[in-house]
Amino acid sequence: MAFARRHAEFQALNTEVLGLSIDSIFSHLAWVQTIKEKFGVDIPFPIIDDISMKVAHAYGMVHPGASDTSAVRAVFVIDDKSILRAMIYYRLSNGRSIDEILRLLEALQTSDTHGVATPENWKKGDKVIVPPPKTQADADARKASGDADCVDWFFCQKSL
């Protein structure tokens, strides 16, 4: 339900949400209907049934040696080139943090757009890490430019 409630925030980040479950399409239909009736929440994204567990096994969602066929809760960030950029696994007993998933998406997009890295707990508007120079000429140019706050030649931060 949390992904549905915050779906507009994912759309604002040009991100598609897709659900996948090893339950049948009939279970999904009942689940979507019950969520709407009991909680007043529409599920605005597709939910794929993976009753064969082919996709779940391919992405490691059914852990080897598990005592049942319950898939773990997982989040996969796959970019527009079909490259897996991030994956987060949760036990069935623990919910996902939508705030963290949105933060991660913003961090990945910022890194891609600006060629920078983001430090721990980074949020939009925070300083980013400038990659270290690869040549002495680049190091000298960085030092002379003053565009970044540098602790040393290899660690510089800047605001975007």
Q: Is 35 inside any structural domain?
A: yes
Q: Which of 89, 28, 101 is nearest to 63 (CA)?
A: 89
Note whether 148 and 130 are within 8 A (CB).
yes
Domain that holds residue 30: 2-104
Q: Would residue 26 count as lying in a domain?
A: yes
**pTM for this one?**
0.85
User: Tokens in use for 11?
Assistant: 């759309």
**Is the residue at 119 inside a domain?**
yes
CB atoms within 10 A of CB 57: 14
Token readout for 103 is 């933060």
Q: Domain for residue 79, yes or no?
A: yes
- 70 and 32 in a common domain: yes
Task: Tell me whether residue 28 is in a domain.
Answer: yes
Residues 16 and 67 in one domain: yes
Question: Cα angle vertex 151, ends 147, 155, to 5°?
Answer: 75
Q: Are 99 and 152 in a shared domain?
A: no
pLDDT in tens, 107-149: 999 999 999 999 999 999 999 999 988 999 988 888 788 788 8
CATH of the domain at 140: 3.30.1020.10
The Cα–Cα gap between 73 and 60 comes to 11
